[in-house]
A = this chain, B = another copy of it.
Amino acid sequence: MSYDYRLVVACPDQVGIVAKVSAFIAAHSGSIIEASQHSDLTSESFFMRYEVRFEQPQSQAQLSEAFRPIAESFEMEWRWQDTLQKRRVAILVSRQSHCLVDLLYRWATNELNCEIACVIANHEDLRSLVEWHGLEYHYIPVTAAERDSAFTRIEQIIEARAVDTIVLARYMQILPSWFCERYQGRTINIHHSFLPSFAGARPYHQAFERGVKLIGATCHYVTDELDAGPIIEQDIQRVTHCHTPDDLVRLGSDVEKSVLARGVRWHLQDRILIQGNKTVVFA
């Protein structure tokens, strides 16, 4: 039997961090299963993620308490995460199903290590699909006039279900600022273009008009500024003059779902560290 934890650290770079951290782990008889580090020479910042296997069960609280003096001496932002503790995810959707279907499939087959607390939608279209999976479906329409109250209801649902991470799976609504801020660093969106190109509405039609030869999708953390948050992952698909806007939508939807799935998976595995408006991704 073994007990796996993840240690995630961001701090100012200086000599001796790895030495101290690894000595701590060795002193607790931990093996480093996977190690990722990054020194940003410009900002003199240091980032690390360790997967650590202990032979003995560890209490997350005790581990954290023991680690605190090291963390404080290096001014770390840090977290020990028990890998057995599953994150609780809310998925927000509109009418389009491709990203939701893909996420549910990956969740059902244990590719995404999380609990899906609920699905929240501003349309009724996807209810039967969600309920067939034995999941809660909340229909909360969003109108321009009542946008704020709608998101207050969403907030209540999210809080009541102890949701940790929010995934916007082609949820076509703009979130209010207060909502973005409250769930900053925990709200993941998929945008159907290769950002920063074609932010905003109807990106495939913009791409078609511009005559680009590659279309793309971008998974990013949501911030108050539309489609401008830290980018997690991007990918592209080749297109030609033969493709209509409908073809771009069809071809793009495959890219969207795979890019979103990778982003969510990495987030759930604590592989993403946010650094200003950028991300360090230990994929």
Contact = CB atoms under 8 A, between A and B. Distances in A.
A212 B97 CA distance: 27
Nearest to A234: B213
A241 B38 contact: yes
How would you classify the secondary structure of chain A's contact residues: helix, strand, loop or mixed?
Answer: mixed
Contact of A26 (B16, B26, B275): B16
Nearest to A210: B196
Interface stretch (A28-36, A57-65, A70-78, A180-188): A28-36
Contact of A214 (B18, B213, B234): B234
Given A34-B39, A38-B242, A277-B211, A15 B19 contact: no
A252 interface: no
Contacts of A210: 195-196, 231, 277-278
Contacts of A258: 254
A111 interface: yes
Interface residues of A, number: 62
A281 interface: yes
Contacts of A280: 241
B281 A241 contact: yes
A157 interface: no
A34 B243 CA distance: 12
Given A13-B31, A35-B18, A233 B211 contact: no
A15 B29 contact: yes
A32 B37 contact: yes
Interface of A: 13-16, 18-19, 22-23, 25-26, 29-35, 37-42, 97-98, 101, 105, 109, 111, 132, 194-198, 210-214, 216, 230-236, 240-242, 244, 250, 254, 258, 275, 277-281, 283
